[in-house]
Amino acid sequence: MNHNIDGILYKIGLISAILAVSVMIVLHVFHINIGIFSYPCLFHYITGYYCPGCGGTRAVKELVHGNLPASIKYHPLVVYGLLIYTWYMLSNTVERCTKGKISIGMKYKDIYLWIGVAILLLHWILINVLPIF
């Protein structure tokens, strides 16, 4: 079962990488500002509190510009996700290219998801509690 999940995740990862690179090329070639696609946060507008995803877009922008500390500050889940994705794709590509002779392929485990959920919740609590102090 896990082998099947890992195969599906690998294919999704490849498709995601191709789409991301394609979008970045189009944005660069046609000088499109992605800011025109962003909308105000409805959760923040209604409640006055930041939503769990607030800061994600800024974190991605900072990461694309190579500013890792700012990206972590805006939303640490973005950096965590990129690290997990990168290691998963690189290790599984090496394993596939060597036909299993170098068996370093990262396998899916629920703990990676739960760590992400914990980062998301901790960040959400901190960005809503810290301004009080």
How is the chain split into domains, by residue range? Answer: 36-132
pLDDT at 106: 94
* pLDDT tens-digit readout, 22-47: 998 998 899 888 777 778 889 999 99
Statement: residue 127 has pLDDT above 90:
yes
- In this prediction, residue 15 carries a pLDDT of 98
What pLDDT does 96 receive? 94
Question: Which pTM was predicted?
Answer: 0.86
16 pLDDT higher than 80: yes
Secondary structure of the chain in HEC code, one letter for each residue: CHHHHHHHHHHHHHHHHHHHHHHHHHHHHCCCCHHHHCCCCHHHHHHCCCCCCCCHHHHHHHHHCCCHHHHHHHCHHHHHHHHHHHHHHHHHHHHHHCCCCCCCCCCCCHHHHHHHHHHHHHHHHHHHHHHHC
Under the banding of pLDDT at 50, 70 and 90, the label for residue 2 is: low
Question: In this predicted structure, what is the pLDDT of residue 41?
Answer: 87
pLDDT of residue 99: 92
